[in-house]
Amino acid sequence: MALNSGLPGGVGPYYENHGYQPESPYPVPPTAVPSAYVVYPAPYYPPAVPQYSPRVLTHASTPSSHTQPKSPSAVCTSKAKKVLCVTFTLGAVLVGVVLAAVLLWKFMEKKCLVSGIECGSSGTCVSPSHWCDGVLHCPSGEDENRCVRLYGPNFILQVYSPQRKSWHPVCRDDWSEGYGRAACQDMGYWNSFYSSHGVVDDSGATSFMKLNLSAGNMDLYKKLYHSDVCSSKTVVSLRCIECGVSARTRRQSRIVGGAGAAPGDWPWQVSLHVQGVHVCGGSIITPEWIVTAAHCVEEPLNNPRHWTVFAGILRQAFMFYGLGRRVDKVISHPHYDSKTKNNDIALMKLQTPLTFNDKVKAVCLPNPGMMLEPEQPCWISGWGATHEKGKTSDELNAVMVPLIEPSRCNSKYVYNNLITPAMICAGYLQGTIDSCQGDSGGPLVTLKSHIWWLIGDTSWGSGCAKANRPGVYGNVTVFTDWIYRQMRANS
């Protein structure tokens, strides 16, 4: 993972840390950036990114002869020819209109698919910014009646009130697990429910959502009403999936500067293969869904048929085709910028769900309200190179890296204002320990309240383990809502 080595005067990352360097690598094609050392399985070579200078078409060294085309007036002279010309022109226009309509339809279909927000009653696509904003944009109000989230390290269930335009915890009075299953489905956990219980609210709420059991056989959201009193003095803590459980012990475990992982240490870590070769890492969030980096799935690798996912296997040498899972859908963040690596996150949905066991488990998505320390200890893991320009590791490695405050990472001596709110920095400014090429898309996790949380996905950096060039990660804490929307819309 590298950035323009001329920083801080350089502009933007041109190297993302995916790609596998086998012992006998495929021939490397010529590239506009000589220092980019990513290697892909042929013929899937990534474009040189970003292209800060405009692409200029190369001209032939010797001019080629051209015949002067006939003008329309010279062609359409006789009446018969004029009729033919008019007919041909009308036909061409009609074909153009049809093609434009098809392309527009495809664009709108894709737009709705990307946003993941569609009015079930009409098929209208609603912008994500209008979801749960207190205004009915769908004819039947679907954009406002399924607004649910989990808050803080205690997974407190909160429901959005369009009347008050704020989130409120759900009082545990009269609660049952059937309602918990319904709430989990509305977050995209269609076939998953773990537990629900009462906890003391720590969000500072003064108003609650309560169940009105006399409302009859109506759905959960139509049963809820506002109340300033909660008799049980507890609110609902909802776990849709068992996540964030690891067998890792407290030993120091190396990406660059770390050590090999043991079975069950990082059970959410997956290896993403193209044509039998490791290209990127990823993180399991449900049996069907994987979080990775958007730069890993840029064209032509945005087609799901290219990918195979391996889970629960520590060594690349043991990842055989029959042991992997095929991918059904690849969804990149709609606002991903390949030049700046802003919004560098993507999802993969598997064709068949993973079977969870001691070596294969989910990591927890970060909830709003998670309080992280300025130098919160985090862990990175992956099969990336153990030194810059080195060969991708055969075994899974891991190492601890602390978060770095954005203001510090954006200083002119580090990344000079290249870090956006959708990015997070972690590592050591003195160097020595870092993620590297081959680690892209893999997890940046932290342990809080005895649970492992997915804080980031490995995105970019300047070289590997260089001083004042720490690793940069997609800030998963700002993408949680987007992830839930995609899971819900692509069930």
The token pair that represents 405 in the structure block:
């405050």
Distance (Å, rounded) from C-alpha 370 to C-alpha 118?
Answer: 29
**Which residues, in sequence order, are bridge partners of residue 281?**
271
Q: Which element (helix H / strand E) includes 456? A: strand 451-460
The token pair that represents 62 in the structure block:
């010797």
Sign of CA dihedral 239, 242, 247, 253: negative
Is the backbone of residue 237 left (phi > 0), alpha (psi -120 to 50) or beta? Answer: beta
Report the 10 Å Cβ neighbour count for 460: 28
**Which residues, in sequence order, are bridge partners of residue 158?**
149, 169
The token pair that represents 257 in the structure block:
């500067």
Sign of CA dihedral 325, 328, 334, 337: positive
> Under a CB-based contact definition with an 8 Å cutoff, are residues 273 and 307 in contact?
yes
DSSP character at residue 103: H
Active site residues: 295, 344, 440
The token pair that represents 75 in the structure block:
């062609």
